[in-house]
């Protein structure tokens, strides 16, 4: 189909608008992070920094200063927590999803799973706090991993179930005919076919865990377990006159999930859609 | 069909997930349900607990402030998720066209989704700052406003500003799903309709939309659940103000528990929030079922 | 699943192992806030001195935003041995903490002669129902900061003694075009606004409660809200005040965009620090003004204390640490961001040096410190007042409507 000139202008206009809307706030965050503090309190603002200043990044990425240590430890904790919770959630969700999809586990149970995430998360904070404290597990990365795993499980299970639903049953049946066990079949037959779905589920789960704030705020006490969102709240609550510091922490905290998202974008799409055609 | 072995297997497969959910969420969930019928308070002293039936629920539902909070939450959910849906589908249609720079734009739009909620909230709070914020500066320099104004400090705009920040972060996910779904729409369906004389808008409504409704539902359900219990972005951006104009139901739950220490009453608020959320989801589910059924017919 | 389970168990055992080896020495978990008053560096340095003097006791410090302080104390109250040993608490919480049994009664631990040596206002910070639940530590109130250059330019020779004078001076400064909005406050919907409201209520000789019934619908409290609204209507108060916290007030004032500001002690050092402020050297501090015939100065009790949570297993060590932090010579050494609780400190040369005007103002302000309502449901009362007063400031309700609505809502508290 050939486009008319008007259509072309319209199309490129929309594309430009979309690009500006999406990139604008991100670009501004990046600009803030390298602007001199005085540039950021101009009225009206100068959009181009009068001098480029990377010192905040140097500060945040060096273990020497207090800020750097705080940031790098939080980054490590966040990677461990989000990564660990994602892995654990998938490990539990896949067999469960298989049971729902192929072993006629009741759909009511699946809705019960989902009901647990409809509750405002605040309600779980206090009972979990006393449970973990009696186990001596407060302020541990592993505690957050356990909590996040439970938080991620319902949606991960649902998404994986929807994806397994649309896989051809015949291949599995053939495997069973040849005497393969269920565990073997899931590993050797189902998993390879469901790889895009797993990648999509992992990506979604990782982001939710990477994002979580309130549990981390209440359950962690020091550098050994505080995650990035908590560190960011600390940075922006303390005596920070320089918005640039907050902006540079924001940019750095966005990078890991952004890299993952771009790297896995193909999977995210096919995983989310292939599974959900049948809902 | 299922043998006994397979039935047992079902439970073995489910057991690990069930165990974790039971320990971490299902038991506390049941406990919360129980608490919502009592006058329990958070205390380090042994305090008597009474079963008070529906009193907490009656109190909650006759509290005009909580009613306002519920409507605010509904507003937030419907407007944000609605906008995310519309914008997401529109962007997907755009990105499904062929034009130069499309690959780049596709990669670009996933970035907001990767921005952590806290960073998103803090960044937009800076953008909305009444004195040094980028929004005031931009609109002023473009000549759209003649004076700097307040955005999240003005009850008339505060909630919509939070919605904008939320939409910005979350539309990419919807757009991605919609885009992928669009690519599976069979071309001959659309062509056949065109031959029958259906215009592009009509074809979009009667063929494309029903086709992608199923995939969209998964992501819309996820977004609805998240939006209805919105807390973090409010906590960081406005703290519920100005004059309560952004105080959502989850924020009320938070206050009942952590500020007023009434865990019984807080539990009833929470159950109400979850209940309404569930109703919304069921509504979606059946609406989409009808939509896809109607499209196929 | 197997590996996951092992991971959990492994970690649990690791924790057990750690806690048994730690028995020989005591580690105190202490909770502080990251804003206002003493800086993190100050607290770290005081703590280092304490650890040096007390071998075998180490203190694990945690700093959280003020907004999270209450939540963390509440969550840890049910935590058994694993909670905090020392917590910083705000003047508005002892009533609630005492009735819920969150803090240990330390009345008997405090030496009798302290009662006279420490300001009465400081004691009210930690007292409820005749008992003491900690030691006061941060003795703080809101002062009036003013930009001497702007006042001079407007031909004003002395800072205002009454709120009416303050409005008058602000009007002169505005009329001469020296600054667009001479006044800046922290009037976001938050506790910060209630502190300013309390200061004004004290000045107008108002009351929050009389005989357990809301009394803020008439008299001084009503005059206070009326005054707040009037300065907004007249364009004397920066309208953005309605979304400012204390740090915003400091930023605006330090940028030379306001002639007067109400803020805590810590702003004195920072507004006079050239690295932090464009108006360094031009900032003076005075007690918040009074009202003719009613008061000569006004101030809100914004102090904070250190207490021991009920579930702390190390109460003695915790008390040693609290005693150390609150003793006079330690407080005197760190008197730049927060002033000592001890009467004698205010004539100590090392406390006064470089901040003579602050100390002079403090002597006046501390004498008239006015408490926010001392009721167990304070947080809820405050939230109700915040919402309704904010509605007045935003022009959504009249003063009478809003205060009546607040009173009715307060009566409904369960």
Query: Looking at chain C, which subunits does it touch, using at least 3 CB pairs closer than 8 Å as the criterion?
Result: A, B
What is the model's pLDDT at position B209? 84
Q: Which residues, in sequence order, are bridge partners of residue C283? A: C147
**C310 interaction partners in chain B (CB closer than 8 Å):** 44
Q: Is B262 on the interface with C (CB under 8 A)?
A: yes
CATH of the domain at A150: 1.10.3720.10
Q: Looking at chain C, which residue has its C-alpha nearest residue B12?
A: C1
Asked if the Cβ–Cβ distance from B17 to A119 is below 8 Å, we say no
Q: By the 8 A CB rule, do C176 and C161 touch? A: no
Torsion from C-alpha of A278, B2, B6, B10, nearest 10 degrees: 40
Q: What is the DSSP letter of C289?
A: E
Report the C-alpha gap between A74 and A56 in whole angstroms. Answer: 17
Residue of A nearest to B20 (CA): A150
CB B241 within 8 A of CB C190: yes
A143 in any annotated domain: yes
A99 Cβ under 8 Å from any chain B Cβ: yes
- pLDDT exceeds cutoff 80 at C27: yes
- Residues A90 and A40 grouped into a single domain: no
The alpha-carbon gap from A257 to the nearest alpha carbon of chain B, in Å, equals 5
**Based on the domain organization, do A58 and A28 belong to the same domain?**
no
Contacts of A147 in chain B (CB under 8 A): 24
Q: Find, among C278, C224, C280, C286, the residue nearest to C260 by Cα.
A: C286
Q: Is A3 part of a structural domain of the chain?
A: no
Any idea what DSSP says for residue B22?
Answer: I
Cβ pair B212, B85 in contact under 8 A? no
Residues in chain B closer than 8 A to C78 (CB atoms): 42, 44
Write the DSSP symbol of residue B43. -
Instruction: Give the best residue of A112, A122, A256 to mutate against chain B (max B CB count within 10 A).
Output: A122
| Contact call for C11 and A91, based on CB within 8 A | no
C83: Cβ contacts below 8 Å, ≥ 6 apart: A133, C29, C76, C77, C309, C311, C312
A144-176 pLDDT per residue, tens: 999 999 999 998 998 888 888 878 888 888 888
CB–CB contact C79 A92 (8 Å): no
Same domain, A170 and A197: yes
Interchain contact, C34 vs A234, CB within 8 Å: yes
What's the angle, vertex CA B213, arms to CA B208 and CA B216, rounded to 5?
120
Q: Is the pLDDT of residue C226 over 90?
A: yes
pLDDT digits (tens, 9 = 90+) for C299-324: 999 999 999 999 899 999 999 999 99
- A7: in domain: no
Considering only A60-64, A219-223, C54-58, C276-280, which range has the smallest mean pLDDT?
Answer: A60-64
pLDDT(C26) > 50 = yes
C-alpha B54 chain-centroid distance: 29
Which of the four pLDDT bands, split at 50, 70 and 90, describes residue A274?
A: low
Asked whether residue A5 is domain-assigned, the answer is no
Question: Within this chain, do residues A162 and A180 fall inside the same structural domain, yes or no?
Answer: yes
pLDDT exceeds cutoff 50 at C15? no
Q: Side-chain half-sphere of A183: how many Cα atoms within 13 Å?
A: 5
CB of A148 within 8 Å of a chain B CB? The answer is: no
pLDDT band at A275 (very low <50, low <70, confident <90, very high): low
For the stretch C176-224, pLDDT in tens is 999 999 999 999 999 999 999 999 999 999 999 998 899 999 999 999 9
pTM metric for this prediction: 0.89
Quickly list DSSP for B232-293: HHHHHHTTT-STTTT--HHHHHHIIIIIS--HHHHHHHHHHHHHHHHHHHHHHHHHHHHHHH
Please give the Cα distance from A193 to A199 (Å, whole number): 12
- Considering only CB atoms, which chain A residues are within 8 Å of B177? 269, 272-273, 276
Q: C48 versus A46: which is more confidently predicted?
A: C48
**Domain end call among A53, A77, A99:** A53
B150 touches chain C (CB under 8 A): yes
Q: How far is CA C57 from CA C30, C311, C320, in A?
A: 12, 18, 10
pLDDT average, residue stretch C43-59: 94
Distance from the Cα of C121 to chain B's closest Cα (Å) equals 25
Q: What is the pLDDT of residue B39?
A: 92
pLDDT of residue A238: 63
Query: What's the pLDDT score for residue C339?
Result: 92
% of chain C surpassing 70 pLDDT: 94
Smallest CA–CA distance, residue C271 to chain A, in Å, is 12
Burial tier of C411 (Cβ tally within 10 Å: 0-12, 13-18, 19+): exposed
* Residue C50 DSSP class: H
Question: Which of A32, A44, A279 has its CB closest to that of B214?
Answer: A279
Q: Is A121 on the interface with B (CB under 8 A)?
A: yes
Please indicate, yes or no, if residue A81 is contained in any of the structural domains.
yes
pLDDT at C13 over 90: no
Domains of chain C: 2-140+302-367 (3.40.190.10), 143-300+377-411 (3.40.190.10)
C-beta atoms of C79 and A239 within 8 A: no
Neighbours of C407 (CB within 10 A): 18
pLDDT per residue as tens digits for the range C239-262: 999 999 988 899 899 999 999 999
Which one of B125, B149, B241 would you mutate to disrupt binding with C, by most C Cβ within 10 Å of its Cβ?
A: B241
Q: What is the pLDDT of residue B91?
A: 94
Name the minimum distance, in Å, from the CA of C294 to any CA of chain A. Answer: 36
Percent of chain A whose pLDDT exceeds 90: 33
Judge if A144 and A36 occupy the same domain: no
Interface of B with C in 159-218 (CB under 8 A): none
The answer to whether the bond into C181 is cis (omega within 30° of 0) is no
Record: contact B243-C391, CB cut-off 8 A: yes
Query: How far apart are alpha carbons A204 and A199 in whole angstroms?
Result: 9
Shortest CB distance from B118 goes to which of A113, A232, A265?
Answer: A232
Residue C172 C-alpha, separation from nearest chain B C-alpha, in angstroms: 23
* C-alpha–C-alpha distance, residues B70 and C340, integer Å: 46
* CB nearest to C189's CB, from B44, B241, B258: B241
Q: What number of other Cβ atoms are within 10 A of residue B28's Cβ?
A: 22
Q: What's the pLDDT at B57?
A: 95
Q: Over range C59-86, report the average pLDDT.
A: 86
Residues A236 and A175 in one domain: yes
Q: How confident is the model at residue C6, as a pLDDT?
A: 45
Q: Are C69 and C304 in contact (CB under 8 A)?
A: no
Which residue in C77, C377, C390 is closest to B242 by CB distance? C390
B97 three-class SS: coil
> Buried b vs exposed e over C359-383: b needs ≥16 C-beta within 10 Å?
bebbebbbebbbbbbbbbbbbbbbb
Higher-scoring residue by pLDDT: C388, A245: C388
Which ranges of chain B have pLDDT less than 50? Answer: 1, 294-297
CB C219 within 8 A of CB C403: no
Task: Kindly tell me if the per-residue pLDDT of C24 is higher than 70.
Answer: no
Residues 20-59 of A with CB under 8 A from B: 21-23, 25-26, 28-29, 32, 40-45
Same domain for A161 and A48, yes or no, is no
Range of the domain at A142: 54-276
Residue ranges and CATH numbers for the domains of chain B are 50-296 (1.10.3720.10)
Q: Is A268 part of a structural domain of the chain? A: yes
pLDDT tens-digit profile of A86-137?
999 999 999 999 999 888 888 888 888 888 888 888 888 888 887 888 888 8
Please report which confidence band the pLDDT of residue A236 belongs to, taking 50, 70 and 90 as the band edges. confident
Q: Do C62 and A221 touch (CB under 8 A)?
A: yes
Task: Tell me which H or E stretch contains A76.
Answer: helix A66-102
Judging by DSSP bridges, how do beta strands C283-289 and C297-300 pair with one another?
antiparallel
By C-alpha distance, which of C126, C198, C209 is closest to C377? Answer: C209
Q: Cα distance from A260 to chain C (closest Cα, Å)? A: 24
Candidates C68, C26, B119; CA nearest to A257 is B119
List, for residues A168-213, the tens digit of each pLDDT value: 888 888 888 888 888 888 888 888 888 888 888 898 899 899 999 9
B-chain CB neighbours of A115 within 8 Å are 29, 274, 278
**From the candidates B67, B259, B262, B264, which should be mutated to test the interface with C, based on the most C CB atoms within 10 A?**
B259
Whether the Cβ atoms of residue A133 and residue C78 lie closer than 8 Å to each other: yes
Query: Residue C209, SS3?
Result: strand
- Both A30 and A76 in one domain: the answer is no
What's the CA gap between B256 and A273, in Å, rounded?
40
Cβ separation B44–C394 shorter than 8 A: no
Task: Say what the ipTM of the complex is.
Answer: 0.86
Decide if B71 touches C, using CB distance below 8 A.
no
The reply to whether A83 and A177 lie within a common domain is yes
- Residue C342: closest CA among C334, C354, C332, C357: C332
Interface subset of B 88-147, CB within 8 angstroms of A: 91, 94, 97, 99, 101-102, 105-119, 122-124, 126-127, 131-132, 134, 136-137, 140-141
Q: Are residues A42 and A63 in the same domain?
A: no
Cα–Cα dist C371/C91, whole Å: 8
User: What does the pLDDT read at residue C132?
Assistant: 96
Give the span between the Cα atoms of C321 and C332, in whole angstroms: 17
Structurally, how many domains does chain A consist of? 2
Contacts of B229 in chain A (CB under 8 A): 118-121
Map residue A181 onto helix, strand or coil.
coil
Cβ atoms within 10 Å, residue A14: 16
Cβ–Cβ gap A15/B228 under 8 Å: no
Residue B52 contacts residue B37 (beta carbons within 8 Å): yes
C329 compared with C35, residue with greater pLDDT: C329
- Residue C60 DSSP SS3: strand
Query: Is the domain of A73 the same as that of A36?
Result: no
> Within this chain, do residues A34 and A66 fall inside the same structural domain, yes or no?
no
Rounded to a whole number of angstroms, the distance from the CA of A39 to the nearest CA of chain C is 13
Q: Say if residue A220's pLDDT is above 60.
A: yes
Position C59 pLDDT exceeds 90: yes
A6 in a structural domain? no
């Amino acid at each position: 189909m050939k486009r008319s000139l008007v259509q072309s202008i319209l199309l490129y206009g929309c594309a430009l608008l979309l690009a500006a809307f999406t990139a604008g706030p991100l670009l501004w965050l990046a600009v803030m992070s390298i602007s001199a503090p005085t540039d950021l309190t101009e009225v009206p603002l100068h959009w181009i920094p009068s001098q480029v200043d990377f010192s905040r990044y140097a500060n945040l990425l060096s273990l020497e200063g207090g800020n750097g240590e705080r940031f790098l430890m939080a980054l490590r904790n966040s990677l461990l927590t989000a990564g660990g919770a994602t892995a654990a959630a998938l490990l539990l969700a896949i067999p469960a999803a298989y049971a729902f999809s192929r072993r006629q586990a009741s759909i009511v149970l699946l809705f019960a799973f989902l009901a647990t995430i409809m509750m405002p998360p605040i309600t779980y904070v206090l009972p979990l706090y006393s449970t973990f404290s009696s186990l001596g597990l407060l302020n541990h990365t592993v505690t957050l991993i356990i909590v996040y795993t439970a938080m991620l499980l319902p949606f991960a299970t649902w998404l994986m179930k929807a994806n397994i639903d649309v896989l051809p049953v015949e291949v599995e049946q053939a495997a069973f005919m040849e005497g393969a066990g269920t565990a073997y079949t899931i590993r050797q037959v189902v998993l390879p076919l469901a790889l895009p779905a797993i990648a999509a589920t992992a990506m979604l789960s990782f982001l939710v865990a990477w994002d979580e704030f309130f549990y981390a705020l209440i359950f962690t006490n020091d550098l050994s377990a505080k995650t990035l969102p908590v560190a960011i709240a600390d940075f922006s609550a303390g005596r920070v006159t320089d918005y640039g510091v907050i902006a540079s922490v924001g940019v750095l905290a966005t990078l890991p999930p952004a890299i993952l998202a771009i790297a896995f974008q193909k999977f995210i799409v096919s995983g989310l859609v292939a599974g959900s055609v049948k809902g | 069909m299922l043998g006994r072995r397979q039935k047992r297997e079902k439970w073995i497969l489910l057991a690990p997930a069930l165990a974790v959910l039971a320990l971490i969420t299902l038991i506390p969930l049941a406990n919360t349900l129980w608490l919502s019928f009592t006058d329990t308070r958070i205390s380090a002293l042994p305090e008597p607990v009474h079963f008070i039936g529906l009193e907490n629920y009656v109190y909650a539902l006759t509290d005009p402030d909580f009613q306002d909070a519920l409507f605010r939450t509904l507003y937030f959910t419907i407007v944000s998720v609605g906008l995310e849906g519309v914008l997401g589908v529109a962007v997907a249609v755009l990105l499904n066209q062929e034009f130069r720079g499309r690959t780049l734009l596709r990669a670009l739009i996933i970035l907001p989704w990767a921005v952590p909620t806290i960073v998103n909230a803090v960044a937009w709070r800076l953008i909305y700052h009444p004195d040094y914020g980028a929004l005031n500066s931009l609109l002023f320099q473009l000549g759209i406003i003649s004076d700097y104004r307040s955005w999240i400090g003005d009850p008339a705009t505060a909630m919509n500003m939070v919605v904008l920040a939320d939409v910005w972060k979350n539309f990419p996910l919807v757009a991605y799903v919609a885009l992928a779904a669009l690519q599976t729409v069979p071309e001959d369906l659309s062509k056949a309709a065109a031959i029958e004389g259906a215009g592009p808008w009509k074809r979009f409504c009667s063929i494309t939309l029903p086709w992608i409704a199923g995939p969209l539902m998964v992501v819309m359900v996820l977004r609805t659940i998240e939006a209805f219990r919105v807390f973090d972005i409010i906590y960081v951006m406005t703290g519920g103000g100005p004059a309560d104009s952004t105080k959502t139901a989850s924020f009320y739950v938070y206050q009942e528990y952590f500020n007023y220490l009434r865990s019984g009453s807080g539990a009833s608020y929470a159950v109400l929030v979850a209940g309404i959320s569930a109703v919304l989801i069921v509504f979606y589910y059946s609406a989409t079922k009808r939509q896809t059924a109607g499209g196929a017919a | 699943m197997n590996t996951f389970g092992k991971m959990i168990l492994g970690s649990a055992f690791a924790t057990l192992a750690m806690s048994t080896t730690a028995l020989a020495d005591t580690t105190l978990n202490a909770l502080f806030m990251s804003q206002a008053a003493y800086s993190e560096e100050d607290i770290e340095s005081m703590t280092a001195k304490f650890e040096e003097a007390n071998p075998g006791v180490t203190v694990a410090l945690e700093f959280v935003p003020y907004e999270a302080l209450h939540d963390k104390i509440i969550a840890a109250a049910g935590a058994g041995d694993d909670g905090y040993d020392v917590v910083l608490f705000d003047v508005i919480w002892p009533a609630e903490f005492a009735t819920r049994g969150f803090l240990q009664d330390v009345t008997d631990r405090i030496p009798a002669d302290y009662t006279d040596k420490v300001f009465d206002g400081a004691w009210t910070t930690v007292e409820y129902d005749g008992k003491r639940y900690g030691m006061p530590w941060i003795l703080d109130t809101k002062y009036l900061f003013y930009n001497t250059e702007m006042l001079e330019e407007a031909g004003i020779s002395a800072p205002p003694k009454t709120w009416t004078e303050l409005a008058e001076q602000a009007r002169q400064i505005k009329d001469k075009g020296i600054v667009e909005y001479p006044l800046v406050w922290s009037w976001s919907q938050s506790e910060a606004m209630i502190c300013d409201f309390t200061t004004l209520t004290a000045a107008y000789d108002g009351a929050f409660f009389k005989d357990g019934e809301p009394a803020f619908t008439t008299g001084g409290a009503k005059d206070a809200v009326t005054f707040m609204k009037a300065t907004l209507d007249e364009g004397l108060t920066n309208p953005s005040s309605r979304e400012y916290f204390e740090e915003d007030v400091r930023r605006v004032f330090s940028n030379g965009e306001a002639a007067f500001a109400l803020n805590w002690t810590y702003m004195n050092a920072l507004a006079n620090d050239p690295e932090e402020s464009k108006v360094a050297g031009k900032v003076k501090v005075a007690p918040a003004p009074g009202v003719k015939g009613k008061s000569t100065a006004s101030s809100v009790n914004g102090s904070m204390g250190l207490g021991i949570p009920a579930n702390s297993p190390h109460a003695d060590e915790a008390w040693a640490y609290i005693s150390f932090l609150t003793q006079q010579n330690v407080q005197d050494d760190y008197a730049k961001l927060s002033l000592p609780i001890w009467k004698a400190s205010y004539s100590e040369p090392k406390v006064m040096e470089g901040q003579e005007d602050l100390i002079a103002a403090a002597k006046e302000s501390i004498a008239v410190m006015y408490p926010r309502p001392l009721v167990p449901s304070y947080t809820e009362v405050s939230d109700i007042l915040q919402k309704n007063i904010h509605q007045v400031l935003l022009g959504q309700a009249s003063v009478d409507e809003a205060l009546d609505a607040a009173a009715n809502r307060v009566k409904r508290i369960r």
